Amino acid sequence: MAVPCAPVKPHASSVIDGRNAIASSNSLDRRDELIREYSPLVKFIAERLCLRLPACIEVEDIINTGVLGLIDAIDKFVPDRGVKFHTYAEFRIRGAMLDYLRQQDWAPRSMRRKEKELAKVVRELEQKLGRTATHDEIAKEMGITIQELGDLLAKARGLSLLSLNRPKSEESEEEEAELGAFIPDSPERGPLNVLEKEEVRILLAEHIHSLPDKERQVISLYYYKDKTMKEVGIELGITESRVSQLHTSAVLRLKGRIGPKI
């Protein structure tokens, strides 16, 4: 199935939300209605994820997994937390899709080893330098050319999507989340309200601020503004492949800096 270049995010449901979602789930007919209501959201998230993954990943498989995540959200939503059902469902849908992708293990082990090595080199080099490492410095530390580093970043783009995760907390029933799950679209509707992890938001904001200018712009536009990589490229005046490279580089830096702390 062909994936659109720029999937359009559907508006939050205006028919069923909050407490009404739970009330609706008590009836099979109303439950089906809720699933239909949020199907466009499932499709949007699946298509957006697939834009960053190898062509061998079938978007239909991701959508089907997302529907299971939506059903899980309907079953587990607790309205007393004061969070909109749309926000909670989006979190669960994306989490189910990422779990599925991790289980598929589509990336060669050699690629995973290189991605881990790259993240380790970036972390240790920046600790030694006491500042953000440049791509030239990273390449030199790894004993490769800048072109080879660019190729490695391009190949690692899908892995970066799946590898920067918050380990499951013993105090929380929530699942792992990708980087984007910790960056709310607006102050009142991010998954942080679900997880009540203010310290994560502060930590993430601090490290995003320390990224190189271009990487920071890419992360901000891609996660805060919910733009696709193609749209980010147009806004910054660079190619989509360059956006992908900057995104991967930023995620690897954030993984090295934040991973051990959350």
- Residue 38: name the closest of 65, 6, 8, 71 by CA: 71
Neighbours of 121 (CB within 10 A): 19
pLDDT at 127 over 60: yes
For residue range 246-256, list pLDDT tens digits in order.
888 887 887 77
For residue range 213-255, list pLDDT tens digits in order.
999 898 888 776 777 778 899 999 999 888 888 888 887 887 7
Length of the chain counted residue by residue? 262
- Would you identify the CATH topology of the domain 109-168+176-261? Arc Repressor Mutant, subunit A (1.10.10)
CA geometry: angle at 149 spanning 145 and 155, to 5°? 145
Higher-scoring residue by pLDDT: 138, 171: 138
pLDDT-based confidence at residue 195 (cuts at 50, 70, 90) = very low
The CATH class of 18-104 is: mainly alpha
pLDDT at 146 over 70: yes
Kindly state the tokens that stand for 176: 């792992």
In the chain, what percentage of residues exceed pLDDT 70?
60
> What per-residue confidence (pLDDT) applies to 56?
65
Domain boundaries, the chain: 18-104, 109-168+176-261
pTM, rounded to two decimals: 0.46
Distance CA 153, CA 143 (A): 15
For residue range 38-72, list pLDDT tens digits in order.
999 999 988 887 776 666 677 888 899 999 999 98
pLDDT at 85 over 90: no
Fold match, 18-104 / 109-168+176-261: no
Residue 206 belongs to what H/E stretch?
Answer: helix 198-209
